[in-house]
Amino acid sequence: MSIKENAVTRYVKGSLAELTKVTWPTKHQAIKLTGIVLVFVLLTAIFLATVDFGFNAIYTYILTSAK
């Protein structure tokens, strides 16, 4: 008894066939790229925290000077 060919089975078969064509990174490449991503995330977090702090200071100044 075989699985009936429908859209789902064709999709799964096609996905598995494509996964065999993937060139996976080496361990060294994966570690290097992970480090790059972590540095970028850290820099983005610092930038957003700085912008948030600045907007908070401006907002606080506006509220206190409006009294």
- Please name the residues in contact with 3: beta carbons below 8 A apart, sequence gap of 6 or more: 9
Whether the CB-CB separation of 7 and 1 falls below 8 Å is answered with no
Please compute the mean of the pLDDT values over residues 26-38 and round it to a whole number: 98
Distance of alpha carbon 55 from alpha carbon 43, whole angstroms: 18
Please compute the mean of the pLDDT values over residues 5-28 and round it to a whole number: 92
Query: How many Cα atoms are found within 13 Å in the side-chain-facing hemisphere of 29?
Result: 4
Whether the CB-CB separation of 33 and 25 falls below 8 Å is answered with yes
* Structure tokens given for 29: 């490449």
Q: Return the pLDDT at 39.
A: 98
